[in-house]
Amino acid sequence: MHTSRTLTLARLPSGVPIRTTVHAYGEGRLVDGDDGPVLDAPGDGPVVYAQAAQHGREVNGTAVLRRLHDRLTGDAAEGSGTGDAERADGPSAADLDGTLVTVPVADPLTFDRASYTTPESLDSRQPNMNRCWPGDPEGSLHERMASRLWAFASEADAIVDLHTGSPSMATHTVYMRGDDACRGLAEAFGTDLLLAEAAGDDADTEWDERGFAGKLRVAATREGIPTITPELAHSKEIVPGAVKTGVAGTLGVLRREGLLGGEPDPWDGVVARNHLGRVIADDSGLFVPEPDLAVGDRVAAGERVGEVFDPTTFETLQVARADRDGIAYSVAREATVTAGATLVGVAERIGGE
């Protein structure tokens, strides 16, 4: 069974509603409540919540949920561009032993602007929606929007928050370090690289400086709901390979949570620590990475990863070197850099985790 409902997330100053669509597949269904749609699901069946486009320019997650919708409902629209030849043999909504809830566009404000954050005029307090979970029904626009979506997310047994990285970043999945259930969910999603992010007192100063405690993944994990954040390919462009990875990963999560039969594919990848190693530009100029350096490569402490030079005098201002052993999970591809910018992100491998 598949049902969908329009959900009003908040209202603009003019009174125009900010709306999105919620979908439910499987045993549960969406019904009309006093304040909008609510989920009616059997109490003994697992629920998985998946959303995309918290940051409006990150569109691959939305394409993942569309492809998944086509497979579960059999709606193979001509010219859809999904390229999914396996749809006819894939699972349908009737095969789900439980309920999948999806929100393809979590933040219409940023989606319409193809942006990462909202203009300050709309939400000066929380311009980034992924810093204010679980939200506040009487708060700013983003806080109210998060609160409306939290009503669905909080009913889940597992959450997949689909995001998109950048052309300079390796596809990976982030989970809260030390949480075995989140680690298992990340393995079920199946990206080769998993990044374990420390939280709270165990995190570095960036945690508080950037408001990471308000991420959906963190808020949900702290409420006992295993949650992961896959980062698929790059922004503003639907990348077929990223969509395929996202669909396969979400199906792996559905198998792990018991909505689909069978087990996720065995995982044999690398775990590294998130938000730790960075090679920083000492001065402004043009950055040229080493020609053979690619995202996902292993680097050693002290290894040359590129140089920054003065575009007017041609003087080498900095020979950039890795600050630790690890994996280059991001490499700046925009040549013009300012002092303090990240040139290469180095994820430190975690042994025994």
Q: What is the pTM of this model?
A: 0.90
pLDDT at site 82: 47
pLDDT in tens, 41-66: 998 999 999 999 999 999 999 999 99
- The structure tokens listed for 63 are 């394409």
Q: At 75, is the pLDDT very low, low, confident or very high (cuts 50, 70, 90)? A: confident
pLDDT at site 243: 95
Q: What is the mean pLDDT of residues 191-205?
A: 76
Q: What is the mean pLDDT of residues 274-293?
A: 90
pLDDT at site 86: 46
> Is the CA virtual torsion 102, 107, 108, 113 positive or negative?
negative
pLDDT in tens, 86-96: 444 678 888 99
Q: At 167, is the pLDDT very low, low, confident or very high (cuts 50, 70, 90)? A: confident
pLDDT in tens, 322-333: 999 999 989 998
Q: At 188, is the pLDDT very low, low, confident or very high (cuts 50, 70, 90)? A: very high
Distance CA 147, CA 13 (A): 19
pLDDT-wise least confident of 148-157, 207-216, 224-233, 265-274: 207-216
pLDDT at 12 over 50: yes
pLDDT at site 85: 46
Q: At what angle do helices 240-256 and 180-189 cross, to 10 degrees?
A: 130
- H helix or E strand, kind and range, residue 186: helix 180-189
Distance CA 293, CA 299 (A): 9
- H helix or E strand, kind and range, residue 214: none
pLDDT at site 53: 97
Q: What is the mean pLDDT of residues 22-35?
A: 96
pLDDT at site 339: 97
pLDDT-wise least confident of 122-126, 207-211, 298-302: 207-211
Query: What mean pLDDT value characterizes the chain?
Result: 91
Question: How is 157-168 classified by DSSP, letter by letter?
Answer: SEEEEEEEE-TT
Distance CA 279, CA 349 (A): 16
- The structure tokens listed for 290 are 């080493």
pLDDT-wise least confident of 7-11, 101-105, 169-173, 222-226: 169-173
Residues 6 or more apart whose Cβ sits within 8 Å of residue 35: none
Q: Which long-range contacts (CB under 8 A, 24 or more apart) does 6-9 make?
A: 6/37, 7/36, 7/37, 7/103, 7/148, 7/149, 8/36, 8/148, 9/108, 9/144, 9/145, 9/148, 9/149
pLDDT in tens, 215-232: 999 999 999 999 999 999
